[in-house]
Structure 1
């Protein structure tokens, strides 16, 4: 038999026990190495956002097989809380995002900043319509060609098996005579090592470059584009967080974007020094290569504008007139 006095004492003790809120854990992922700009960005964001009711962890090198193209769906479905994805890879589902990697549209970090300022509102709305919240952007250094053999002229493009990173770069290189294939960075590395592709279109930033120069010891400067990656989370998980955690996330996102743009200012010189130390031959192409790619890019850019609709075409027109 339970003694009534004992039961009576137990109940007040239980009622007096303080409620404890369980801490929430988020993950933010990228398909790039930890030492690339996107990798550094998610590490910075995770550290800055962690505290109180929220812990954020960073995952690199496509954890769980996640590539940029599939990250919006993964975040919307709750597979991961947040992701940093290459904008061009998401363009098949959201054509407007292809604007950041259009060939020869941006020729400097300042151009990339201006393009982002011009398009930010449209991108926020585009992501919001899919249940996603923009956190911050990561700018990339300009892309060039990493290759097994030197690529210096238009003639060197003939039959070149090159990894490209989106539909516009694939169409442009194909029109210029190469055999181009859009492949995620994570999937390109095994193909390079197996010898089934000869070249990779990429900035080769940070640790990404270190992996490329193992097999591709030449880098041809193109100033192809200064593209962006976008970091985003799900609207619903964000709204479910306590107000203090939401404020912390917002501050962490703002600080990370500031950090990423500042890092770009010195990144190109740092990458060039690392390439030189590693013995990478850095090539300035002749006029024929640039001319061939620019000629091929014109119709491709016009085709993109048609797929991006009136809003995309208008943004492109504004960007070209700046």
Structure 2
């Protein structure tokens, strides 16, 4: 009798436990690549995105970030990796995406934006066209992250226009490469991931970048001067493979969209604060900052930039709506 009743009660207990146990859903994991270090503004945005996705999905959707050395893809291979589905998502600098479609270079045209408000207006205006161009690459645009304005990191101070000619400078797209070539400098278009080796070998003595966050760690040991020329306010674009997107449930798609909106807003509202933080970090590392470049330097860059923008516009015809975004 005892055994019979204990078996009955055991079965009843198990049935009750199963009835009240929460349903376990399989977790979906998406990998997100980024070639910049975790403390850079774009990588920080990605970590925020992963956190928001986890919260909104209650853990059923995971974003696994592969940043800097953990990212197996470099340069333009990152675009191909996301397009082909070798990795599900990527946060990719506009200069790299621009090698596939020049419209992604719009925000990084020289002196196109005088401040973040204008940079955001240009992006908002061009967003429908950028989304369509992303679709042509078999990807979907989720969000963008603005960088602080690009300046010149250099071995020697850039005090006058003649100093520009002595630069062997790393640039980040074909337009910036041409601008500095037109000024008489040696310039090479390199992704961030390829920079450390060139610096260590002494093949470059200057870099065009903001050097935001941890990105500066690879610069100040070699380049003790920074000239705040505010060349452009470039963007990084976070994209997801279209086939991956289409396999997600509507709820998962909604989660990614909501998280992307939150992260985008946080990036635009917080980017300006990073400039002072970056400058403070530069000074802590014994750098010399020139926040007011000479008129001669700015005039030379402005003229070369205007000429190259005109050449870019001729080589990359925009429709009337796209042209209006720059006005």
Tell me, yes or no, whether TM beats 0.5.
yes
Matches within 5 A, 1:85-124: 85-124=92-131
Matched position secondary structure for 2:232: coil
Q: Does 1:43 align with 2:47?
A: yes
Q: Secondary structure at the match of 1:310?
A: coil
1:273, 1:72 → 2: CA distance?
34
Alpha-carbon displacement from aligned partner over 1:243-298 (angstroms, at most 9, x marks no partner): 22222111111111011112213111111111122211001321111111111112
Point out the more displaced range, 162-171 or 183-192.
183-192
Asked if the contact 1:29/1:62 (under 8 Å) is kept, the reply is: no
- For 2:69 and 2:278, locate their aligned partners in 1 and report how far apart those are by CA, in whole Å: 22
* TM-superposed deviation, 1:306: 2.1
Aligned length: 305
Deviates more, 1:291-300 or 1:218-227: 291-300
- Structure 2 CA distance for aligned equivalents of residues 105 and 45 of structure 1: 28
- Equivalent residue for 1:3? none
Q: 2:27 aligns with which of 15, 23, 28?
A: 23
* Cα distance between partner residues in 1 of 2:227 and 2:293: 6
Q: 1: distance between equivalents of 2:69 and 2:148?
A: 21
Work out the CA distance in 1 between the residues paired with 2:264 and 2:300: 35
Deviation larger for 138-147 or 80-89:
80-89
Instruction: Return structure 1 stretches of 4+ with deviation > 3 angstroms.
Output: 18-22, 62-65
1:55 match: secondary structure: strand
Match of 1:307 among 311, 315, 322: 315
Distance 1:190 1:72 in 2: 22
- Of residues 270, 273, 294, the one that matches 2:302 is 294
Q: 2:83, 2:138 within 8 Å by CA — same for their partners in 1?
A: yes
Is the contact between residue 29 and residue 42 of structure 1 (CA under 8 Å) also seen in structure 2?
Answer: no
Q: Match for residue 227 of structure 2?
A: 220
- Unpaired runs of 5+ residues, structure 1, are 1-15
Partners of 2:219 and 2:238 lie apart in 1 by 24
Contact 1:146 1:218 in 2 (8 A): yes
Q: What secondary structure is seen at the aligned counterpart in 2 of 1:309?
A: coil
Q: d(CA) in 1 for partners of 2:44 and 2:93?
A: 14
Alpha-carbon distance in structure 1 between the residues aligned to 2:250 and 2:195:
41
TM superposition score normalised by structure 1 = 0.89
Number of the residue aligned with 2:63: 56
Contact 1:48 1:252 in 2 (8 A): yes
Match of 2:145 among 111, 124, 138: 138
User: Is 2:75–2:193's contact at 8 Å kept on the other side of the alignment?
Assistant: no
Confirm or deny: 8 A CA contact 1:30 1:67 kept in the other structure.
no
> Residues of 2 paired with 1:287 and 1:62: CA distance?
40
Per-residue deviation, 1:68: 4.5
Question: Which residue of the other structure, out of 275, 295, 307, is the alignment partner of 1:268?
Answer: 275
What do residues 175-196 of structure 1 show as CA deviations (whole Å, max 9, x unaligned)?
Answer: 0010000001111122112211
Per-residue CA deviation, residues 43-91 of structure 1 (Å, 9 max, x unaligned), is 1111211344321111111534423523222112111111111112221
Please say which of residues 195-204 and 92-101 is displaced more in the overlay.
92-101
Pick which of 60-69 and 209-218 moved more: 60-69
Name the residue aligned to 1:69: 76
The Cα RMSD (Å) is 2.1
Q: Deviation per CA, 1:84-120, whole angstroms, max 9, x where unpaired?
A: 1111222121011111110011111111111111111
Alignment match, 2:176: 169
Distance 1:71 1:188 in 2: 16
Q: Does 1:178 align with 2:185?
A: yes
Partner of 1:5: none
Report if aligned partners of 1:30, 1:62 keep a CA contact under 8 Å in 2: no
Asked whether the equivalents of residues 34 and 71 of structure 2 are also in contact (C-alpha less than 8 Å), the reply is no
Match of 2:7 in 1: none
Instruction: Report the alpha carbon displacement of residue 310 of structure 1 after superposing the two structures with TM.
Output: 3.1
